[in-house]
């Protein structure tokens, strides 16, 4: 048998062409995918903030006072668990805002994601 006849496989040039095409496709798709991931995290953050603020208001209507911590909402069974902040990916980074003129209580809640892209703490 002579070399090169009857062999199955790809040449180095064919493999390089395929890898180049794949690299071009990935470079076109990756930025769009990463933007969608950020958009999804922001949507979840808005949803979590709305849910927490609604539950805090319900707690105030029922008890006549604001909860001391977010964990009190869990112990009083207003929520099953404190949700994760999707930007920091942790449940303990929420910033609790007390009622005006007081030092304790959860009047409002904000994201603890400071300095990460947009100003999420102002939402």
Kindly report, residue by residue over 70-108, the tens digit of the pLDDT. 999 999 999 999 999 999 999 999 999 999 988 899 999
Is 8 part of a structural domain of the chain? no
Q: Is residue 31 part of a domain?
A: yes
Average pLDDT over residues 51-80: 96
The answer to whether residue 122 sits within a structural domain is: no
Query: Is 6 a member of any domain?
Result: no
pTM, two decimal places: 0.73
Is 20 part of any domain? yes
3-state secondary structure 85-106: ECCCCECCCCEEECCCCCCCCC
Domain that holds residue 30: 14-115
Beta-bridge mates of residue 96: 109
């Amino acid at each position: 048998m002579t070399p090169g006849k009857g062999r199955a496989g790809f040449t180095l040039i064919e493999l390089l062409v395929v890898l180049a095409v794949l690299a071009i496709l990935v470079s076109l798709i990756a930025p769009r995918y990463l933007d969608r991931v950020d958009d999804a995290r922001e949507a979840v953050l808005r949803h979590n903030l709305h849910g927490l603020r609604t539950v805090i208001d319900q707690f105030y209507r029922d008890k006549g006072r604001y909860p001391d911590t977010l964990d009190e909402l869990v112990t009083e069974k207003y929520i099953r668990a404190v949700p994760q902040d999707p930007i920091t990916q942790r449940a303990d980074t929420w910033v609790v805002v007390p009622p005006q003129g007081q030092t304790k209580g959860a009047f409002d809640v904000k994201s603890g994601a400071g300095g990460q892209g947009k100003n999420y703490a102002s939402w």
